[in-house]
């Protein structure tokens, strides 16, 4: 039976879909019904940080289901308390408590509400180059085209241009100068929207789905200063970057800042069980000691999800996977930059940890994207993905950027093997065009 016989599949016109039927998975690899092996070079949706089939998580989940499979959020359970404690201990020093949810979109939905309740303000700033989820509030928070199905939108959501260093930097301009220019514009926009009405400013610490966009020098620190000046909550979306993806426990560590709120999901359980959360500062936690928290979910802090969190955190620690992400990420980026030198169609390669993007352009001088705004007029990205898949390299793209974000267990030999596949496919595509 086809996957599409009774299912609606995300982000696709359904009629021509031919989804791979997957039978099993282990480590870096998954296998289709014919036994063909695919290297998971995107960790599925950048969430399977520990790889496929880790029995330690399966055993922890099974044990919790036997002991206590569900408990209402207003009742205490040690699994939930331990998961929250361990997350807070890994977070920046000002963080104090976690509100558990089921996924990244729910985390951002509740972060919006918490920021509004705490400040008494209504407006929410977020970047055009962002994706924060597809539920209605999170979609209004999102800046790119996946928000369109949720428009007309909710009043009070304001977009600003967050940085894409490769595309935004002017000839002769330094990153510090780019930052100064962007922050000047952001300050003007905050003033124009009346800062006393702005509850929060949301940023992905490093933009994920929209192309692995690393902020320029001083940018995150500048945003933190603006938020502090105007009493605006700085919310860092760490749904994709959290739990080691960029080579540190959280990506904000690269910028030495402390946000007011952080949202998490993917790497907390690595997809073995759905779970997400909102981490709040001590100041916000103290506020809700005397003020009602108008947030609630039937499955908030689900004991089985929290058991998965505890197992995953132990795996990260015992197997030194955060360090592995940093080390293997440096190696991966070096190999991808070697490809950039070889293939003129690669305009830019960037990354932190095992969180890399390869940006394809029509010509390097003008940096013209080979695909943009959800359109791939020459079919380049489609053909690239198909070529990779045929050779057992699985990932995805957003517009003209190929996402390469494998599990932290990947070896240098596996990196070499898969970068060689990317090289081979690009060579084949160039020869056909020639």
Domain end call among 318, 351, 380: 318
What pLDDT is attached to residue 415? Answer: 98
Q: How many domains does the chain have?
A: 2
Instruction: Kindly report the CATH number assigned to the domain that includes residue 425.
Output: 3.90.1150.10
Verify that 271 and 408 share a domain, yes or no.
no
What pLDDT is attached to residue 353? Answer: 98
Structure tokens at 286: 């103290």
Given a contact cutoff of 8 angstroms between Cβ atoms, the answer to whether 389 and 358 are in contact is: no
Q: Which of 227, 198, 202 is nearest to 119 (CA)?
A: 198
pTM: 0.96
Verify that 207 and 333 share a domain, yes or no.
no
Verify that 371 and 421 share a domain, yes or no.
yes
**Mean pLDDT of the 238-266 span:** 98
257-297 pLDDT, tens digit per residue, is: 999 999 999 999 999 999 999 999 999 999 999 999 999 99
* CA atoms of 150 and 341, how far apart (whole Å): 41
43-96 pLDDT, tens digit per residue, is: 999 999 999 999 999 999 999 999 999 999 999 999 999 999 999 999 999 999
Verify that 84 and 48 share a domain, yes or no.
no
Verify that 160 and 308 share a domain, yes or no.
yes
234 has which bridge partners?
A: 201
27-56 pLDDT, tens digit per residue, is: 999 999 999 999 999 999 999 999 999 999
Instruction: Kindly report the CATH number assigned to the domain that includes residue 114.
Output: 3.40.640.10
Domain end call among 318, 335, 366: 318
Verify that 144 and 195 share a domain, yes or no.
yes
pLDDT over 70 at 434, yes or no: no
Q: Comparing 145-154, 159-168, 261-270, which segment has the lowest mean pLDDT?
A: 145-154
**Mean pLDDT of the 302-318 span:** 98
Verify that 196 and 154 share a domain, yes or no.
yes
360-402 pLDDT, tens digit per residue, is: 999 999 999 999 988 999 999 999 999 999 999 999 999 999 9
Q: Note down the domain range covering 426.
A: 3-53+320-433
350 has which bridge partners?
A: 357
**Mean pLDDT of the 187-198 span:** 98
Domain end call among 289, 318, 347: 318
Verify that 35 and 155 share a domain, yes or no.
no
Verify that 36 and 73 share a domain, yes or no.
no
Verify that 337 and 211 share a domain, yes or no.
no
Verify that 309 and 324 share a domain, yes or no.
no
- Long-range contact set of residues 62-71: C-beta below 8 Å, sequence gap at least 24: 63/307, 64/303, 64/304, 64/306, 64/307, 65/304, 68/303, 69/303, 69/304, 70/302, 70/303, 70/304, 71/303
pLDDT over 90 at 16, yes or no: no
* CA atoms of 246 and 292, how far apart (whole Å): 35
Verify that 47 and 117 share a domain, yes or no.
no
């Amino acid at each position: 039976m086809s996957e599409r016989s009774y299912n609606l599949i995300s982000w696709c016109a359904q009629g021509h879909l031919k989804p791979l039927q997957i039978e099993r998975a282990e480590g870096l690899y998954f296998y289709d019904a014919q036994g063909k092996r695919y290297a998971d070079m995107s960790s599925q949706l950048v969430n399977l940080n520990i790889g496929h089939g880790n029995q330690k998580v399966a055993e922890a989940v099974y044990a919790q289901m036997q002991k206590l499979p569900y408990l209402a959020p207003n009742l205490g359970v040690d699994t939930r308390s331990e998961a929250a404690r361990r997350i807070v201990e890994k977070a920046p020093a000002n963080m104090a408590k976690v509100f558990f949810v089921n996924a990244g979109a729910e985390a951002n939905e509740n972060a919006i509400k918490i920021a509004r309740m705490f400040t008494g303000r209504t407006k929410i700033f977020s970047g055009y180059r962002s994706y924060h989820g597809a539920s209605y509030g999170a979609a209004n928070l999102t800046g790119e085209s996946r928000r369109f199905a949720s428009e007309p939108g909710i009043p009070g959501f304001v977009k600003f241009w967050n940085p894409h260093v490769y595309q935004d930097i002017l000839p002769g301009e330094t990153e510090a100068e780019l930052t100064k220019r962007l922050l000047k514009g952001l300050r003007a926009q905050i003033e124009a929207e009346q800062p006393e009405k702005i509850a929060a400013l949301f940023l992905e610490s490093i933009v994920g789905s929209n192309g692995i966009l690393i902020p320029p020098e001083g940018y995150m620190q500048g945003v933190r200063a603006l938020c502090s000046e105007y009493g605006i909550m700085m919310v860092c979306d760490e749904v994709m970057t959290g739990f080691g993806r960029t080579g540190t426990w959280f990506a904000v560590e690269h910028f030495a800042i402390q946000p007011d709120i952080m949202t998490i999901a993917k790497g907390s359980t690595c997809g073995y069980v759905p779970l997400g959360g909102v981490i709040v500062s001590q100041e916000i936690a103290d506020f809700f000691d005397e003020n009602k928290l108008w947030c609630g979910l039937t499955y908030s802090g689900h004991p089985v999800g929290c058991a998965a969190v505890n197992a995953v955190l132990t795996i990260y620690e015992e197997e030194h996977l955060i360090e592995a992400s940093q080390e293997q990420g440096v190696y991966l980026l070096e190999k991808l930059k070697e490809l950039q030198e070889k293939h003129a169609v690669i305009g830019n390669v960037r990354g932190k940890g095992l969180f890399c993007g390869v940006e394809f352009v029509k010509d390097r001088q003008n940096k013209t994207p080979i695909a943009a705004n959800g359109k791939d007029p020459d079919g380049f990205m489609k053909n690239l993905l198909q070529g990779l898949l045929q050779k057992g390299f699985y990932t995805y793209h957003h517009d003209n950027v190929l996402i390469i974000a494998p599990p932290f267990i990947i070896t240098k030999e596996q990196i070499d093997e898969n970068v060689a596949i990317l090289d081979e496919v690009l060579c084949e595509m160039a020869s056909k065009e020639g």
